[in-house]
Chains A and B, each alone.
Chain A
Amino acid sequence: MTAPLLSMEGISKAYPGVQALSGVELALARGEVLALLGENGAGKSTLMKILGGAVRPDAGTIRVDGVARAIRSPQEALRLGIAVIHQEFNLVPALGAAENVFLGQEIARGLPGLGVVDRRAQRARAGAVLARLGADFDPDTECRRLSVAGQQLVEIAKALVSGARILVMDEPSAALSAPEVAALHGVIRELKRDGTGIVYVSHRLDEIAAVCDRVAVLRDGRNAGGAAVAAVGRGDLIRMMVGRELTEEFPRRTTAPGEARLVVEGLSRGTAVRGVSFEARRGEVLAITGLVGAGRTELLRLLFGADRPDSGTIRLDGREIRPRSPRQAIAAGIGLLPEDRKLQGLVLDLSLRENFALPNLARLSRAGVVQGALERRECGGFVERLRIRTPRQEALVRGLSGGNQQKVVLAKWLARDCEVLLFDEPTRGVDVGAKVEIYRLINDLAAAGKVVVMVSSDLPEVLGMADRIVVMRGGRVTGRIDDMARATQESVMEAAVS
């Protein structure tokens, strides 16, 4: 029996105040796709950072082809043929896609050691790899002009050209639309045939069934089980991850939709949003879906005053509102959970409590002085109510897991008692347990008569949560589903792509 491609044995790692990993085992064979599952905070990221050389373990052995290796830096990991595609992008915004793909591994021409980059060769090879991934942009496009999905594809291409034999993909599909995910899975199957071992970290259970051979589940920094994908059902996986039965992934709510509260007519901005009209009613969850780049996020930004519309009207309870800035939108009772919580939702180097207080400072202060006791009490209430797992309110949000970070963003707006809540991909990168909690909160808000508009790419989520669905494509509304009994993933997807 030959040694496995990769084996991680007895890996432990402690951070101040938390044992992130204790004695974790992980094995990966050649040509195998291993799904690594676990709630946020279960230790997946830490384990993958150790594999990628970004973090050093306190104990344990990593063997590549049966040989014990100490991986002290990302460079060493690369030399061993280990490439990690991080969820956070590491791209140089002002460089082109091809240049980013070959960043640090440039193709040189002319005298060796002179460092003249062969741009033509790079462009050709990067273009080929990107095309294989289903990208439709020019490899010279500056990365800052690419969509989130495009940037994700560049990150994946980067790992592919490095010729890695062990590939770690951390939520690679989180930002991708369905055709792009399909292309990615096609590439994964090819890599498999070449003998590449892939660790696929994802929260999308459907994808795991589609592309993975085996699952390994982490819970609270320990191995919590593993199995061949073919042998386990969706419910089994969820049980292994959270350690308890999730009776309802999408908690139901008895709905009695009332009158229209938020009425949008003919809202337009450039080519991103073109003549969008819809209404959101009291007591319902309105989902807006579509592929990446359909203009959903741009629409929410118009509603929130982050951008100005060229034309169109927004009415709340019959009164027209024209938010010229987020500040005005907030004053009008609108709250936004942005798509990218780290870039737009949170100030990572401020504490949980300071982030929580940010939109609520006017209420929490007197004569410009923050009332510390009041602030602590309110924040404590929300930490408890949303079950935010944190050692203390003073903890920097940078150190919280994705699900807990999202709850902090949610708490900011719940504390303001907004009349309109705009959710942009509210469960992106959030573990299953926290997802259900967020769904419950969304339902509670709807039940309390608030206007709830949820943008999501996750079709099961859209179908499970929404009372009505608006589908967008190319900035326009291309489908409306008012009768959820007749909604299927296929019917939604048809409106999104056709």
Chain B
Amino acid sequence: MTAPSPPPVPSRGGRARGLARRLADLGMAWVLAGLCVLFSLLTFAEQQPDGAAAGAALAADVLAACPAGARVLVAVRDRPEEGALAETLVERLRGGGAEVVAVVTGEPRDARAALERLAALAPPGLDAVAGSAASTGWGVFADLAADFPALGDPVVLRPRAYRWPNFLKPENLLNIANQIAVIAILAVGMTVVIVTGGIDLSVGSLIALASVVTALVVRDVFGGVAAGTGGMVAAGIAGVAVGALAGAVSGGVIVAFGIPPFIATLAMMLVAGGAASMLARGESVYQLPDSFVWLGRGADLGIPNAVALTLLLYALAHFAMTRMTFGRHVLAVGGNREAARLSGVPVAATTLAAYVLSGALAALGGVVMASQLKSGSPNFGQMYELYVIAAVVVGGTSLSGGEGSMLGTLVGALVIAVIQNGMNLLGIESYTQRVVLGAVILGAVLLDRLRRR
């Protein structure tokens, strides 16, 4: 080696080390993983598959159990998931060379009628009855050989049951994500505010205010149920703008008059909550078009839109906090306001921006909730500020400011959601749930504190 070796630059591998440190810092992620394992074990249960996948599997079983050209009766209850099962089942049976002699969608007596019709036509009889777990359990199928001797001795086949945790069922996991979306969205703004050393108590009320404003704009400006996409988007923007404005007022008085954030946002919580009730005259606003639920209940990308929006926000916020000057300013203001000021950080503007962001995101959460529930109501979002703060703190952000991460907050929000969901699955009473949740939040933060020591 002829070239002089470069000086030992300590930044080498700095980024990788930073990431490793960040992951190690996420001790709460292990708690989350532990909770998932716990609830998986506790909710292990017999699963009766339904839907298209079950239909395909069942068709294979029928074709294997019967001779070629078998005659099959398909019976399901009149439910969407069983309809999907039946549809796929019939399609696959026909594709496999079997003859579907009848498809019954309904109740046992419908099945009996069909069997009687077939018995009257017999021979050639019937080789198999296939359907959902529920329909194949009908008494009419219990003893076919005795009841309908003309049909021969058909086998009754149902989708094979398997054991799997209720907690880990895909629809349950999506349910968790959907449930937590609103809190998680609010927690983004709350994290920024708490890292500056502040607090925002108004976010719960801003959910209500934004949901009411959005719903009222749709109803009164864009024609209610007849409103179009553009109108609904404009109404959503109006809702978010009101939240941003409320945040600007809170942040403004905090910055301009040095009012403690706790007091300023407590006042805003009362003002916004009261304004929501005044605007809605204390009632829910539900004159909204069906398509209004697109944001809250739709799923265009394979996952619910609200979940996609949440993930997008977290990606942006993580980038802003770790890679942008804004994040640096927020951390510096929370870590040492005076040192930040003497370093030329725009302390007032950064603080104001944090509250505007929190207000806007709280309002966005309100729009999502309005969409999920297809209404706007002054009762939305009650107590949410506390759950949001809990999520942020469980996520490892210090209430004294100066440190915190978006990834941590996301984990914190998930911890709370998983605990609630798990207890719901276990059938624990809601009062008990609150006690447990409170204890778990305390324990989680305690654990974090001990680990850092």
Contact = CB atoms under 8 A, between A and B. Distances in A.
B10 A390 contact: yes
B17 A394 contact: yes
B32 to A, nearest CB: 25
Nearest to B338: A344
B346 interface: yes
A484 interface: no
Nearest to B15: A372
A44 B402 CA distance: 29
Interface stretch (A6-14, A28-36, A53-61, A346-354): A346-354
Interface stretch (A357-365, A450-458, A486-494): A357-365
B344 A327 contact: yes
Given A347-B402, A357-B328, A358-B332, A393 B343 contact: no
A368 B324 contact: yes
Nearest to A343: B338
B25 to A, nearest CB: 13
B325 interface: yes
B339 A365 contact: no
B452 to A, nearest CB: 12
Contact of B328 (A354, A393, A412): A354
Contacts of B331: 347, 350, 354
A327 B340 CA distance: 10
A392 B325 contact: no
Interface in B148-195: none
A439 interface: no
Contacts of A384: 7
B345 A358 contact: yes
Contacts of B11: 353, 376-377, 379-380, 392-393
A394 B20 CA distance: 12
A190 to B, nearest CB: 38
Interface string A314-341: 0000000000011100110000101000
B14 A350 contact: no
A367 B326 CA distance: 11
Nearest to A362: B325
B323 A372 contact: yes
B9 interface: yes
Nearest to A395: B10
Contact of B9 (A330, A348, A349, A380): A380
Contacts of A365: 324-325
A304 interface: yes
B341 interface: yes
A462 interface: no
Interface string B1-20: 00000010111001101100
Contacts of B342: 304, 306, 326, 336, 338, 344-345
B255 to A, nearest CB: 13
Contacts of A343: 336, 338-339
A383 B12 CA distance: 14
A349 B334 CA distance: 10
B403 interface: yes
Nearest to B341: A326
A344 B339 contact: yes
Contacts of A361: 325, 328-329
B335 interface: yes
Contacts of A344: 336, 338-339, 342
Contacts of A304: 342
Contacts of B339: 338, 343-347
A365 B341 CA distance: 19
Nearest to A304: B342
Interface in B279-300: none
Chain B facing A: main interface SS: helix
Nearest to A373: B11
A370 interface: yes
Contact of A359 (B15, B21, B343): B343
Given A343-B339, A348-B336, A359 B324 contact: no
Interface residues of B, number: 30
A233 interface: no
A319 to B, nearest CB: 20
A376 B14 contact: yes
Contacts of A359: 343-344
B385 to A, nearest CB: 26
B338 A369 contact: no
B328 A370 contact: yes
Contacts of B332: 347, 350, 354, 358
Given A306-B342, A361-B328, A349 B402 contact: yes
B341 A370 contact: no
A391 interface: yes
A358 B361 CA distance: 27
Contact of B341 (A306, A376, A391, A412): A306
Nearest to B340: A347
A455 to B, nearest CB: 15
A121 to B, nearest CB: 36
B336 A370 contact: no
Contacts of B343: 326, 330, 358-359, 412
B400 to A, nearest CB: 10
A353 B328 CA distance: 11
Interface in B305-332: 323-326, 328-329, 331-332
B414 to A, nearest CB: 26
A186 B403 CA distance: 46
Interface string B76-112: 0000000000000000000000000000000000000
Interface in B354-373: none
B368 to A, nearest CB: 27
Contact of A369 (B10, B15, B323): B323
B334 to A, nearest CB: 9
Contact of A393 (B14, B341, B403): B14
Contacts of A394: 14, 17-18, 21
Contacts of B9: 376, 380
Contacts of A368: 324-326
Contacts of A380: 9-11
Interface string B368-405: 00000000000000000000000000000000001100
Contacts of B7: 384
A50 B327 CA distance: 38
B401 to A, nearest CB: 10
A353 B14 CA distance: 11
B335 A348 contact: yes
29 contacts: A325-B341, A326-B341, A326-B343, A327-B346, A331-B344, A343-B339, A344-B339, A345-B342, A347-B332, A347-B339, A347-B340, A347-B402, A348-B335, A348-B336, A349-B403, A358-B328, A358-B332, A358-B345, A361-B325, A365-B324, A365-B325, A369-B323, A369-B324, A369-B325, A370-B323, A372-B323, A383-B10, A392-B10, A394-B21
Closest 10 CB pairs of A and B: A347-B335, A392-B10, A330-B344, A376-B11, A358-B343, A347-B336, A361-B325, A359-B343, A327-B344, A359-B344
Interface of B: 7, 9-11, 14-15, 17-18, 21, 323-326, 328-329, 331-332, 335-336, 338-346, 402-403
Given A354-B328, A393-B10, 15 more contacts: A306-B341, A326-B342, A326-B344, A338-B339, A338-B342, A344-B336, A345-B342, A347-B332, A348-B336, A353-B11, A365-B325, A369-B325, A370-B324, A392-B10, A394-B17
